[in-house]
Amino acid sequence: MEEIKKVTKYYLLTPGPTPIPPEVALKEALPIIHHRTNEFAVIYRNVVEGLKDVFRTKNEVYILAASGTGAMETAVVNLLSHGDEIIVASCGNFGDRWLKIAQGYGLKFISICVEWGKVVKPSEIEKALKNNPNVKAVYTTFTETSTGVVNDIKTIGEIVSKTDAILVVDAISGLVGQEFKTDEWKVDVVVSGSQKGFMLAPGLAFITLNDKAWELVKTSKLPKFYFDIKKYKKSYITNETPFTPPVTLVVALEESIKFINKRGLENIWNDCKLLAKAARAGMTALDLKLFGEVPCEVVTSASVPIEIGGKIVKMLREKYGVSIAGGQGDLKGKIIRFAHMGYIGKADLLIGLACLEMVLVELGIKIEKGKAVAAAEEVLLKTE
Ligand SMILES: *Cc1c(COP(=O)(O)O)cnc(C)c1O
């Protein structure tokens, strides 16, 4: 039996997947082309060159057919050997994923885990590196999407670069939306994915490695086949991937990179910063306590009473067609998260806040209708 839907228009304000611009979505609908052709090679070359700009690196960026986690696993199996020691600095669910991958491969790890909502302290990494000179790599997260905070990668990069260890950063949700400079910040390996700032359907993962990281690749003995980065490096020269690439997504990525370049990466960073400020003002106006020690610019989190956390997310989606995210793990039911990255604009944010107000009223929370929207408008109006 077919379900009769209450709403027919949807707004995706989740931190992945994010909405896809129409011009990018249209590319995903075109007839597929063969990947061992000159036609595809030209697109592939444009795409990898575009990715280098977005990553702010001079090094090659490889495209994998996987969700972001595939690139995370790639960054583990290609750099290390059984028994190697690493540091994992985690402040949330995605940071903990590094721990789980390390556990899966039998690595020795020193975990610097801070309470969810807090950020990683660079000085803790510095101390751990000093006490454990055999550490091969430090794994951490740029924007921790599960809590909405951002780690100081620039400072961490400075610290790790002075040692023999390499720094591996998960920038899956932060890249494109928030200022990130791979080479300048001395980050050795960066991973990302297609369904957040890149405004594409899920299915592509990206990874870049510098010379210091490639030295580790040479000695790495962990088992690998599909994610063997040497295979990707070899076929990169001929504008190919070692296995069939998700052709459709690569074609669409060319369009999404065009979209990014039309607005300009720096402008996009500023757009997200402004939306984050407006989102924070909106939530605060409703007396919702902002969550997170150092809020990032791609997603905004606020604490909500535990008994209504799940209901807010469900009602927003079912009654108004607005999808936001709730909390993960221990934060389930305790926070709500609004994304403002990629193809999410000022108007989308205002819609999200207006519908949040209505849901809160329906849940019997005492708020003044229009207050969040007004506070966000105030922020948006003050800026050109
Ligand atoms: C979304 C996300 C991931 C996981 O990516 P998948 O594409 O679901 O594998 C990892 N890290 C961060 C910070 C993310 O936001």
Residues 29 and 148 in one domain: yes
Give rounded-to-5 percent helix, strand, coil for the chain: 45, 15, 40
Considering only CA atoms, give the Rg of the chain.
Answer: 21
Beta bridge partners of 204: 65
Ligand 1 atom closest to Cα of residue 202: 7
Residues 108 and 239 in one domain: yes
Beta bridge partners of 149: 144, 295
Mutation pick for ligand 1 pocket among 14, 170, 175, 249 (CB with most ligand atoms within 8 Å): 170
Coil, helix or strand at residue 48: helix
Residues 208 and 331 in one domain: no
Residues 258 and 269 in one domain: no
Residues 286 and 212 in one domain: no
Query: What CATH number does residue 101 fall under?
Result: 3.40.640.10
Residue from 37, 16, 9 nearest 317 by CA: 9
Residue 186 lies in a domain: yes
The per-residue pLDDT for range 80-122, each reduced to its tens digit, is 999 999 999 999 999 999 999 999 999 999 999 999 999 999 9
Residue 176 lies in a domain: yes
Final residue of a structural domain among 201, 236, 262: 262
Residues 218 and 91 in one domain: yes
Residues 153 and 275 in one domain: no
d(CA 378, ligand 1 centre) in Å = 32
Final residue of a structural domain among 216, 240, 262: 262
Instruction: Give residues (CB < 6 A) around ligand 1.
Output: 16, 67-69, 94, 141, 145, 170, 172-173, 193, 202
**What domain range is 126 assigned to?**
23-262
Residues 317 and 255 in one domain: no
Mutation pick for ligand 1 pocket among 101, 142, 172, 249 (CB with most ligand atoms within 8 Å): 172
Residue 1, class by beta-carbon neighbours within 10 Å (0-12 exposed, 13-18 middle, 19+ buried)?
exposed
Residue 275 lies in a domain: yes
Residues 159 and 214 in one domain: yes
Tens of pLDDT along the chain (384 residues) come to 666 677 889 999 999 999 999 999 999 999 999 999 999 999 999 999 999 999 999 999 999 999 999 999 999 999 999 999 999 999 999 999 999 999 999 999 999 999 999 999 999 999 999 999 999 999 999 999 999 999 999 999 999 999 999 999 999 999 999 999 999 999 999 999 999 999 999 999 999 999 999 999 999 999 999 999 999 999 999 999 999 999 999 999 999 999 999 999 999 999 999 999 999 999 999 999 999 999 999 999 999 998 898 999 999 999 999 999 999 999 999 999 999 999 999 999 999 999 999 999 999 999 999 999 999 999 999 876
Residue 71 lies in a domain: yes
Residue 6 lies in a domain: no
Ligand 1 atom closest to Cα of residue 205: 7
Per the CB < 8 A criterion, the answer to whether 36 and 246 are in contact is: no
d(CA 70, ligand 1 centre) in Å = 10
Quote the number of domains for the chain.
Answer: 2
The per-residue pLDDT for range 147-159, each reduced to its tens digit, is 999 999 999 999 9
Residue 5 lies in a domain: no
Beta bridge partners of 339: 299
**pTM greater than 0.95:** yes
Residue 179 lies in a domain: yes
d(CA 97, ligand 1 centre) in Å = 9
d(CA 125, ligand 1 centre) in Å = 23
Residues 244 and 281 in one domain: no
Final residue of a structural domain among 262, 290, 313: 262
The per-residue pLDDT for range 263-290, each reduced to its tens digit, is 999 999 999 999 999 999 999 999 999 9
Residues 249 and 357 in one domain: no
Atom 2, ligand 1: which residue's CA is nearest? Answer: 172
Q: Note the maximum CA span of the chain.
A: 63
Strands, E, within the chain: which ranges? 11-12, 61-65, 85-90, 108-113, 137-141, 143-144, 149-150, 166-170, 189-193, 204-209, 299-303, 322-323, 325-326, 335-339
Ligand 1 atom closest to Cα of residue 144: 13
Residues 127 and 268 in one domain: no
Atom 6, ligand 1: which residue's CA is nearest? Answer: 68
Structure tokens that stand for 255 in this block: 């369009």
Residue 3 lies in a domain: no
Per the CB < 8 A criterion, the answer to whether 133 and 87 are in contact is: no
